[in-house]
Amino acid sequence: MKPEQNNNKASSKSTHKQQSSTEQTRPPSGKSKQSTSARPKGNHLWASLYLPDLLLDTMQNSEEIPVAVIERKNNRQQIRSCNHHAHEAGIFMGMALNSAYAILPALTVVEYNAEQEAILLRQVGEWAMQFSSIVCLHPPNHVLIEIAGSKRLFESFEILAALIQQELATLGYSGLMGIAPTPLAANLLARANIRRGIVQVQKLPYVLSELSVSYLELAPDTLEGLRRSGMRKIGNLLTVSPASLTRRFGPACVKYLDCLLGRHPDPRTPLRLTDFFERSLDLPLEVHDTNALQFATQRMINELAAFLVAHDNGVNMFTLTLRHEKLDDTQLQLRFLQATSQARHLHRVLSEQLAQTTLPAPVSGLHLLADTFSEIERDAADLFVKSRRQQNSFGEVIDKLCSRLGHDALYTLSTVDDHRPEKAWKKSAPESRQDRDSNWPDRPLWLLQQPRPVTPALWQRLSLEGDAERIETGWWDNTDVRRDYYLYRDDRGTRYWAYRQRGKSNELFIHGIFS
């Protein structure tokens, strides 16, 4: 996404008229807004990111196409928000979807989804943690970044603010930013698109009093009430005594204003960037069979999948602990060949493993911990483009097989540069890359696990074919091999690779079978 598009979009928002900071009433005392000395120590300074159209932002790509987010209101589908291109074509907020299609048949729409929006907001919040250790979410549209603590790192908060906005644009989100000492004031400035930051709490009433009450985060009927009573600007509201405000609009309005102006503390819970996923579940009834456990784990797995998606990560391994009342816990470790975030795949591997588990005692609780993550291989699908019917990915199949047969049972082969036949090959994990090796002498397709001595009965039926090959090596690691290999064929057509040990008995051992 290009920053310029965000600019387009921001300017297209009819509701957020840009207001130049120069038009604002200057508080007479305000000279040095940057000076830290003016700010009592320990005070916060909040940068609020206003992200009104997270969903719309995710829909936009480099192509200049008209897109819109729709919602269902009063039993009809209408436009919730749209981008610059749609707006230019004549589409506006609240327009019925049918009318919008009539104007612009090529309009791309997506339905508003609050859950998706919450996930996106959290993603922005976690992204913002690169700038500050204190980041708070203010759903549905605000991310609050505490920048007083980060100021020293970034010279001044203007530089930091510019950096945040620039990085946000490269992320593909269009947002407005406001900077103020209280979270709510920062939100307000962001919504009003006041680019100039306010550092001192005392200055808040001066700056805010000129702004429209419509930017206040109050209940819609309160805003409607304010409009009816002729209060257009926040300044009008501030002249009213708190007691009459409470009488008219309830205590919430007064409390909001107190928090807004810093008269009342407004504690926030900082976002924690968790690096692990943990869920516990106490089962209301003890579970005796693994089938019932699968049902109980369903929710946990879905949450894990959501966590992984939000982090844009996949899980390589997680541990499910089955708690028993009297015995020690049973631990199940689930491993994945390729990091995955798909709930379907997680479920399948877990149910396969549960089916293989015998419960030593009834299960009274579950605990799931996932702390090994890695990036999902995006190009994983390219590895088997040629397969005719792609129903599962390679990793899914392998994981399913491993969960029943064990991880040692699946491997690919590779050659080792060693003359000793039993050391010339090794097992590798599936999907490991191997170098194409050069030619080897004639070797049997089957190598026996253990060389087998030729019985007299078999010896009767053997006839020698071809030349002998001497293999004499390995003296350096005390597993030296001094053998003469021969090709034998028996009367039933089986071809053997057999050897005699030089300097030892004349006994013949079968080491391989040409098949």
Partner 1 sequence: MNLEALLKHPGLWKGRQQHDGKETISTGYPALDAVLPAHGWPLGALTELMVAHEGIGEFSLLLPSLDALTRQQQWVALVAPPHIPYAPALINAGISLERMLIVDPEKDTTESDKNAFWATEQLLRSGVFSAVILWATKNSNERQQRRLQLAAEHGKAWAVCYRPQQTAKTSSPAGLRMVLQHSDHGMQIDIIKNRGGRLHSLTHTTPSATSPDNTGQITPLPEKPHTEKNAAKNIKTPLCSISPLKTYETRTKQ
Q: Which residues are near partner 1 by CB under 8 A?
A: 383-384, 386-394, 396-398, 400-401, 404-406, 409-415, 421, 424-428, 430-434, 436-437, 439-449, 465-467, 487, 489, 492-496, 512-515
- CA dihedral for 150, 153, 158, 164, sign (positive or negative): negative
CB of 393 to partner 1, least distance (A): 7
304, 306, 311, 312 alpha-carbon torsion, rounded to 10°: 110
Residue (16 or 407) nearer to partner 1, CB: 407
CB 69 within 8 A of CB 110: yes
CB of 354 to partner 1, least distance (A): 16
CB of 421 to partner 1, least distance (A): 8
Crossing angle for the helix pair 251-260 and 242-249, nearest 10 degrees?
A: 130
Spatial separation of the C-alpha atoms in residues 16 and 93, rounded to whole Å:
13
Residue (163 or 405) nearer to partner 1, CB: 405
CB of 163 to partner 1, least distance (A): 45
Residue (139 or 406) nearer to partner 1, CB: 406
Spatial separation of the C-alpha atoms in residues 498 and 487, rounded to whole Å:
6
Spatial separation of the C-alpha atoms in residues 285 and 281, rounded to whole Å:
11
CB of 498 to partner 1, least distance (A): 12
CB of 490 to partner 1, least distance (A): 8
CB of 373 to partner 1, least distance (A): 25
Residue (288 or 419) nearer to partner 1, CB: 419
Residue (375 or 408) nearer to partner 1, CB: 408
CB of 379 to partner 1, least distance (A): 13
CB of 402 to partner 1, least distance (A): 10
State the DSSP code for 437: P
CB of 419 to partner 1, least distance (A): 11
Neighbours of 225 (CB within 10 A): 15
Residue (240 or 383) nearer to partner 1, CB: 383
Residue (285 or 413) nearer to partner 1, CB: 413
Spatial separation of the C-alpha atoms in residues 86 and 109, rounded to whole Å:
10
CB of 438 to partner 1, least distance (A): 8
Residue (312 or 472) nearer to partner 1, CB: 472
**Distance from chain centroid for Cα 95:** 35
- 392-398 long-range contacts, CB within 8 A, separation 24+: 393/338, 393/345, 394/337, 394/338, 394/430, 394/431, 395/336, 395/337, 395/338, 395/340, 395/345, 396/340, 396/345, 396/348, 398/337, 398/430, 398/431
State the DSSP code for 28: T
Residue (154 or 514) nearer to partner 1, CB: 514
Secondary structure of residue 270 in the 3-state scheme: coil
Residue (111 or 437) nearer to partner 1, CB: 437
Neighbours of 245 (CB within 10 A): 19
Spatial separation of the C-alpha atoms in residues 180 and 202, rounded to whole Å:
11
Spatial separation of the C-alpha atoms in residues 105 and 474, rounded to whole Å:
77
Length of the chain: 515
Residue (94 or 493) nearer to partner 1, CB: 493
Closest CA to 165 of 148, 152, 178, 154: 178
Secondary structure of residue 504 in the 3-state scheme: coil
Secondary structure of residue 67 in the 3-state scheme: strand
Where do the DSSP E strands lie in 202-329? 277-287, 314-324
CB 277 within 8 A of CB 346: no
In the numeric block, which tokens belong to residue 232? 């257009």
In the numeric block, which tokens belong to residue 90? 């004549």
Residue identified by tokens 């690919």 is 412
CB of 346 to partner 1, least distance (A): 17
Secondary structure of residue 481 in the 3-state scheme: strand
Residue (146 or 396) nearer to partner 1, CB: 396
Secondary structure of residue 168 in the 3-state scheme: helix
Residue 331 pairs in a beta bridge with 321
Residue (255 or 335) nearer to partner 1, CB: 335
CB of 448 to partner 1, least distance (A): 6
Spatial separation of the C-alpha atoms in residues 323 and 286, rounded to whole Å:
10
